Amino acid sequence: MAVKEKGLYNLIHKDKKNDLNPEEILSNIKAERFSTKQIERIIAWVKELEFWEDYGEVYKNLEKAKPYSNLSNVIRGFINPGLNDTWLDVGCGPLRITEIICEKAQEKACLVEVHAIDIVLKPAEEKLAELKKGGKHLPVILEHLSITEPLPYLNNTFNGIGANLVLPYVTDFLGNKGEKALEMVLRDMFRILKPGGELIWSTPKSNVNFNWVFLASLPDMFNLYRYIVDRDFSRLLQGTRILKHAIAIQEKGKNGLYTFLTVEKLEKLLSKIGFVDPKWKKTFSQQVWVNRVQKPL
C-alpha cells in the first residue's frame, strides 16, 4: 500500500505557530530522518518561503498603484458578508482583503469575524500595528497556516472565503503538484465553506504578462505629489522590486510550478468539485481573473 504523503507543514513545523525561518527548516532536515522525496519537497518549500518573505517586504506598495486598486474594487464588488458571518482571508499578505470584508460588513452594519492566514504573517502584523496607531481595529484572527495541506478547520466553517492571488501559487499539496495541487486546494476551500457560502478568489490569466501592470503603475510610481506630501521616496525602487517578483511568478507559471489555467478549464474544475454559479471579471491591467463561486445550499 502506498504511504500517504504528509503535508509540508506537518513534516517540518509540527505545532509551530509563528513565522518560520528557512535556516530553522534546513537544520531540521539534518536532525530528522526524511526520505529523499521528502527532502526534495522541503528544499523546494524553503525556496518558496524565502521568495514570499522577500516579496512581503515590498508587496504592500502594490496598493499605491492603480492596477491593484482596480483589482481590490472588483473583489469588493463580489464580497457580501452577512450578520455574524465568519470569513477566511487566505494568503492574507498585508490584509487588504480582510479590510474589504470588514468595510463591507460595516457598511451593512453587520458584525463579522475574519480569520486571516499566511505563511508569512509579518506584513499582516505590521498592518495591524499601523492601524492601531491610527486608532483603528480589525476584527481579525491571524493564523500561521499553509494551503499546502488541508487547513485545520472543520467542514462547513466559513460563510465566505477571500483568496486574492494565492491559490494558483500552491506548489505542493500533500506531495501533489501542478493542476492536481490546485484542484486539491480548491476542494479544501469547498470543504470548509458552509453550504451557500462563497469563494472569491483570483488567478493570473493563463498567458499572463505582468509587464502591462508595471507600465500601468508608472504614473503612480512617478507621482511627484505623493513624493512631496507623503515624503515617500521609495516608490520607484519598490516598483522595480515588485516587478522582479511579478516576473518570477510569471516564469513559475510558464514552468508549471504555479498553475494558471484558462477560464474554460477552471469552470470545468470548479464544477467537478461541486461549486456553482461562477462569475468572472478580468482586471489588474487585464492580467488577472477574479472569480466568485458558491457552494450549493
Ligand X SMILES: C[S@@+](CC[C@H](N)C(=O)[O-])C[C@H]1O[C@@H](n2cnc3c(N)ncnc32)[C@H](O)[C@@H]1O
Nearest to ligand X of 90, 261 (CB atom): 90
**What is the DSSP track for 243-256?**
HHHHHHHHHHHHHT
Rounded CA gap, 81 and 267, in Å? Answer: 24
271-295 per-residue burial string, b: 16 or more CB within 10 A, e: under 16: eebebeeeeebebbbebbbbbbbbb
The CA distances from residue 258 to 109, 172, 225, 255, in Å, are 39, 10, 38, 8
Among residues 42, 92, 181, 186, which is the contact residue for ligand X, using CB under 6 A?
92
The site string for ligand X over 221-240 (x = CB under 6 A, - otherwise) reads: --------------------
Asked if 91 is part of the footprint of ligand X (rule: CB under 6 A), the reply reads yes
What's CA 153's distance to the chain center, in Å?
A: 17
How many chain residues are in contact with ligand X, going by CB under 6 A?
19
Chain positions 59 to 78 lying near ligand X, rule: CB under 6 A, are 59
User: Is position 168 an interface residue for ligand X (rule: CB under 6 A)?
Assistant: no
Contact 164, 91 (CB under 8 A): yes
166 near ligand X, judged by CB under 6 A: yes
Q: How far is the CB of 244 from ligand X (least distance, A)?
A: 14
Nearest distance from C-beta of residue 142 to ligand X, angstroms: 12
* Single residue of 147, 186, 257, 266 touching ligand X by CB under 6 A: 147
Give min distance, CB of 196 to ligand X, in A: 24
- Cell numbers placing 161: 472565503
Q: Does 165 contact ligand X by CB under 6 A?
A: yes
Beta bridge pairs of residue 143: 117
- Does 285 sit near ligand X (CB under 6 A)? no
CB-wise, 147 or 221, nearer to ligand X? 147
Q: Does 146 bind ligand X (CB under 6 A)?
A: yes
Q: Which of 12, 65, 112, 120 binds ligand X (CB under 6 A)?
A: 120
Asked if 119 touches ligand X (CB under 6 A), the answer is yes
Count of other CB atoms within 10 angstroms of residue 170: 26
Question: Smallest gap, in angstroms, from Cβ of residue 180 to ligand X?
Answer: 15
**Residue 292 is a binding residue for ligand X (CB under 6 A):** no
Tell whether residue 203 is a contact of ligand X (CB under 6 A). no
What's the alpha-carbon Rg for the chain, to the nearest Å? 19
Cβ atoms of 162 and 87 within 8 Å: the answer is yes
37's grid cell: 522525496
User: Is 164 among the residues that bind ligand X (CB under 6 A)?
Assistant: yes
The one-letter amino acid code at 259 reads T
User: Could you tell me how many residues make up the chain?
Assistant: 297
Per-residue binding letters, 13-52, with ligand X (x by CB under 6 A): ---------------------------------------x
**Cα gap 133→85, rounded to integer Å:** 27
- CA–CA gap between residue 196 and residue 253 (Å, rounded): 32
Helices 235-255, 36-58: axis angle to 10 degrees equals: 150
For residues 190 and 284, which CB has a smaller minimum distance to ligand X in the complex? 284
**93 lines the binding site for ligand X (CB under 6 A):** yes
Could you say which DSSP state residue 167 is in? G
Q: Which residues bind ligand X (CB under 6 A)?
A: 52, 56, 59, 91-93, 96-97, 118-120, 146-148, 164-166, 169-170
